[in-house]
Amino acid sequence: MSGFEFCFTAGKVEWQALRQKSMENDLWIFLAILLGLTAVVLPTMAFYYRCRACGSLAHGFKSYKLANFETGEAFFVCRRCGDRTVKGKVESDGSVA
C-alpha cells in the first residue's frame, strides 16, 4: 500500500464519519421543526375550535357528537358546559351532511 492509497482510505473513513454526524444533526433539525410546528398548530386549533359559550379550549379535541333524528339535526356538545352547536343535517340513511 502506497502513501497515497493510505491517505485516500483514511479520507474515506473520515468522510463516512462526517456523513453519519450530519445524519444525526438532520434528525435533530427535523425533530425541532416538527416540534415547532406542533407548538404553533395545536394552540391555533384549540383557539379556533374552542367552545363559544364557555371558552373551553378542549372542545375542539374532545366533544360529544349527538343527533336529534326527529328534527334531523346533528350537534357537537361541549363536555364542560353542555352547549350544543348544530353541525349538520342527518340524512334518512343516518349519515350527517
pLDDT at residue 5 greater than cutoff 80: no
- Percentage of residues of the chain with pLDDT beyond 90: 20
Q: Where are the domains of the chain?
A: 1-48, 57-89
- The conformational region for residue 81 under phi > 0 = left, psi -120 to 50 = alpha, else beta, is alpha
Cα–Cα distance for residue pair 5/76, rounded to 1 Å: 72
Report the pLDDT value the prediction gives residue 3, as an integer from 0 to 100: 47
**What is the pTM assigned to this prediction?**
0.58
53 near 83, Cβ under 8 Å?
A: yes
Could you tell me the pLDDT band of residue 14, with boundaries at 50, 70 and 90?
A: low
Q: Which of 35-39, 45-49, 85-89 has the lowest mean pLDDT?
A: 85-89
Summarize the confidence of residues 69-81 as an average pLDDT.
Answer: 88
Which of 39-43, 58-62, 66-70: highest mean pLDDT? 39-43
- Percentage of residues of the chain with pLDDT beyond 70: 76
